[in-house]
Amino acid sequence: MRQTKMKRFLRNILMIAAATAPVASAMAANDPAAAAKPLRGSVAAQLMLKIRLQKINSGTLTASLNHNRVEWENLLPEQREQFRREAVAFLEKNPQEQQRLVQYYGKFIALSADKRKAYVERAKWLKVVIEGLSQQERKDLEQMTPEQRAKVLLDRKAQLLREGKLPAEGPTTQPAAPPTAQP
């Protein structure tokens, strides 16, 4: 009887250890490369599987994998590290936020090539502008509606352009200087 209880005890230990092993692994991952993968069954894994299935349905999975593999091989080590960090940042977000980002990705890839390029250019200057803000200014921005935030950021962008702290946009980017950016 004692032997039976001991075996049940051991079974319970193994069961719980097996269930918690992925969490422990994620906790153990100190470097982005080791952590940059979703746990099986997680929302992130499901969302990424959804993207994979979309590619299968459109017949583009093989081409996409080939393209990505070649591109990855040609990246600089620091670029790879940046994408690993972004993967970790994505996986650390809560499931609702992960879902939102995947939805945005769906909208983004549905845009025309020109529009996608314009969005990428905007993300570049947005990053510079936001990095120049104080913590309080960033908090204030978070409380605003997207339209209010866009207006403030366009104003700040115009200011940085005047001060020469932001490189002027090239001819391929969106040309319009917004009326809101005028002094």
Partner 1 sequence: MTYSKLGQADFDDLSAFFDGELPPQEAAAIEQRIDTDPIWRQAYEELLALDVALGRQAAPPSRPDLAERIIQASRGMKGPSKVVPLVRRLIPAAAAAAAIILLVVPFALHRGRPDESNGAANPTPDAALVNTMLKDVPQQDRFVVENLEFFQNYDVLANYETIEAVDRLEEGT
- Residue 160 interacts with partner 1 (CB under 8 A): yes or no: no
- CA pair distance 44, 97, nearest whole angstrom: 10
What is the Cα Rg of the chain in Å?
23
Under rule CB under 8 A, which residues in 110-139 are in contact with partner 1? Answer: 115-116, 118-120, 122-124, 126-127
Under rule CB under 8 A, which residues in 55-74 are in contact with partner 1? Answer: 56, 61-62, 64-66, 68-69, 71-72
- Residue 109 interacts with partner 1 (CB under 8 A): yes or no: yes
* Angle value at C-alpha 53, between 36 and 39, nearest 5 degrees: 30
Burial label, 156 (beta-carbon count in 10 A; 0-12, 13-18, 19+): buried
CB neighbours (10 Å) of residue 91?
Answer: 19
Under rule CB under 8 A, which residues in 19-48 are in contact with partner 1? Answer: 19-22, 24-25, 27-29, 33-34, 36-40, 45, 48
Orientation of helix 43-57 relative to helix 95-109, angle to 10° = 20
With tokens 């995947």, the residue in question is 102
Least separation in angstroms between CB 137 and partner 1: 14
Question: What is the rounded end-to-end Cα distance, in angstroms, of the chain?
Answer: 86
Under rule CB under 8 A, which residues in 69-108 are in contact with partner 1? Answer: 69, 71-72, 80, 83-84, 86-87, 89-90, 101-102, 104-105, 107-108
Q: Which of 162, 167, 172, 178 binds partner 1 (CB under 8 A)?
A: 178
Q: Which of 46, 99, 159, 174 binds partner 1 (CB under 8 A)?
A: 174
Least separation in angstroms between CB 154 and partner 1: 6
Structure tokens at 99: 């879902």
Least separation in angstroms between CB 40 and partner 1: 5
- Residue 15 interacts with partner 1 (CB under 8 A): yes or no: yes
